[in-house]
Structure 1
Amino acid sequence: MAISQRVNEHPRVPIGRISLHLQTSLYRKKGGLIEKVREYLKIGETKNVFNVADDFIEIQDGYFIKRVEEPQYTITFGDIIVKGNNVKACSKNGIILRTLKPGIKLKVVSFLSTSSGFTVYGINGNEFVSSDEDIQYVSGKFEFYADANVMVNGQTRKFRKGDILQYQVIEGNSILLLDDIWLDISSLNGTLHGC
């Protein structure tokens, strides 16, 4: 998906990535119905996820896959990067299981917003990290499809085709980079990826 679009349009944002552990049939929407097509996804392929609903998972390029047994695939919803020295991974009951090392990046396999305003990130089926810990959440990546000179905080930054910027949040046509700088991507030639 190229992001060179009019300012009033919003880019389609992936919510995560799916990795396949078995060969998987593909489906397309035709006339409001989802029908099987001849193409397949191969073992090890990874695709952007746009929606998980009912019996299907919507992936990139207008395809769907059927939600089946969990061992067939793994869906991730971004990464967390451990920043501090005392970040704890806890059980569902809040029991501290281990202290995480600064600098490690962990895939988020689930998340839950709490009534107190925090988000709890599942890093596997048994361990969870709260957003009130010293971590940084990465929700996706922007990949440049062409060289670009971009104004960031009043200075020109040069990017090359293939460069990738990680972002925390997307609002409209702007992404919040990991260094807390907003970047308008409406005139850039590139694509958004989930983590």
Structure 2
Amino acid sequence: MGVLQRISEQPRVPIGRITFHLQTSIYRKKGGEYEKVREYLKIGETKDIYGVNGDYIEIQDGLYIRNMDEHQYTMTFGELIVQGANVKSCSKNGIILRKLRPGLILRVVSLKFISNDVTVYGINEKEFISSDEEVQYVMGIFEFDADSTVLKNGQTIKFKKGDTAPYQRVDGHNLLLLDGTWLDISRLNGSFHGL
């Protein structure tokens, strides 16, 4: 469910994913206006999100949906992996709600940037985890569409078609991988997948 990237293009990276709980109309932007197309998104279908423009959410393949009641869909913005033994979730007011076990993987349903160094991840409507905790944020996955050889930390690493590289952040043609190293994808063909 990704979008094929070409070397010369700036990568188009999904900011999240959306799953629909109701059959949903699809729109296409034509001449600056949104017009409804004949197809619909089915109940349970999931698409990558590329942006929000007023009342419209851009999904895969240059299509849009009209912003709807939040109970009609589930939107996620990556995952958190609990790494430390003392990670706690808190309420909006900072009250500790529970201790989380290491290895637990949680979907991120909201992001709030407090400063350049601190982000607060919402894991549901009532629980939040700070990036100050021992957690690993996973924004998405880059899937290799061809066998590739890359240089990483001065070593040559081979990837086969279909291999994936989970990443925390994208900066131009560079992916910040989970191990803290950067991967230059400017000469690679692959697709991005939201989580």
Q: Is the 8 A contact 1:2 1:191 kept in 2?
A: yes
Report the counterpart of residue 129 of structure 1 in structure 2.
129
Separation (CA, whole Å) in 2 of partners of 1:96 and 1:28: 44
What stretches of structure 2 of length at least 5 have no aligned partner?
none
1:19 aligns with 2:19: yes
Are the counterparts in 2 of residues 140 and 194 from structure 1 also a CA contact under 8 Å? Answer: yes
Shift of 1:16: 0.5
**Any conservation in 1 of the 2:7–2:189 contact (CA below 8 Å)?**
no
149-158 vs 33-42, greater mean Cα deviation:
149-158
% identity of equivalent residues: 62
Distance in 1 (CA, whole Å) between partners of 2:140 and 2:181 is 15
Give the aligned partner of residue 175 of structure 2: 175
User: CA contact under 8 A between 2:88 and 2:99: conserved in structure 1?
Assistant: yes
1:3 maps to which residue? 5
Displacement after TM superposition at 1:116 (Å): 8.1
Is 2:37 the partner of 1:28?
Answer: no
| CA–CA separation in structure 1 for the residues paired with 2:160 and 2:19 | 27
**Equivalent position amino acid for 2:39 in 1:** E
Decide whether the 8 Å contact of 1:3 with 1:185 is kept in 2: no
Under a length normalisation based on structure 1, what TM-score does the superposition of the two structures give?
0.94
Cα distance in 2 for residues equivalent to 1:36 and 1:116: 39
SS of the residue corresponding to residue 27 of structure 2 reads: strand
Residue matched to 1:189? 189
Distance 1:176 1:115 in 2: 19
- Could you list the runs of 4 or more consecutive aligned residues of structure 1 that deviate by over 4 angstroms after TM superposition? none
Letter in 2 for 1:5: I
CA separation in 1, counterparts of 2:5 and 2:25? 29
What does residue range 157-176 of structure 1 map to in structure 2 within 5 Å?
157-176=157-176
Counterparts of residues 132-147 of structure 1 (less than 5 Å): 132-147=132-147
Aligned counterparts of 2:183 and 2:91: Cα–Cα separation in 1:
36
Per-residue Cα deviation, 1:60-101 (whole angstroms, up to 9, x for no partner): 100001111112111111111111000000001111000011
| Inter-partner Cα distance in structure 1 for 2:177 and 2:4 | 19
Q: Within 2, Cα distance between the matches of 1:145 and 1:44?
A: 27
Q: How many residues align?
A: 193
TM norm structure 2? 0.94
Which deviates more from structure 2 when the two are superposed, residues 90-99 or residues 139-148? 139-148
Long gaps (5+) in structure 1:
none
Partner residue in 2 for 1:43: 43
Query: What is the alpha-carbon distance in structure 2 between the residues aligned to residue 80 and residue 100 of structure 1?
Result: 11
